[in-house]
Amino acid sequence: MTRHTLASHPFLLGFEELDRLVERTAKAGSEGYPPYNIEQVGERSYRITLAVAGFAEEDLSITVEDRQLMIRGRQVESEDERVFLHRGIAARQFSRSFVLAEGVEITGAVLEHGLLNIVLERKSPDRVIQTIEINRA
């Protein structure tokens, strides 16, 4: 059985990387924690906002590897002798990932009022025009 993908179309030469990105995005999971927003805040700038109430800066890590933005949160349980009658605020770890397009860079991150804001900007691509010489056989 032949596997047909987006990049297997004969007019899409060299788009195998796009197929890999789509697969990686699908595998990233659709877990709903923490909730997040993605906003376009300018013509070429975006903001990802994650609701990370209860997490301090030292509990969060933001990394980019191979165009994949990874946000991780891990809270350390305090050693005090608190007794909970009801525990509705989860102190759990999370991992949320986003695949970034080529040319998108992170320009900053701010944790404020339980919201982690990550600012991204798409750089303007350089326009390249190439003339190909035709050789006689």
Cα–Cα distance for residue pair 114/118, rounded to 1 Å: 13
Please give the chain's pLDDT, 137 residues, in tens.
556 666 666 667 777 776 776 676 666 555 678 999 999 999 999 999 999 988 999 999 999 998 899 999 998 776 677 888 987 776 678 999 998 988 899 999 999 999 999 999 998 878 889 999 999 87
Give the residue among 85, 89, 58 at the shortest CA–CA distance from 73.
58
Architecture of domain 32-78+87-122: Sandwich (2.60)
Cα–Cα distance for residue pair 77/1, rounded to 1 Å: 51
* pTM given for the model: 0.70
Domain with CATH 2.60.40.790 in the chain: 32-78+87-122
SS3 assignment, position 27: helix
DSSP string of 88-101, one letter each residue: -S----EEEEEEPP
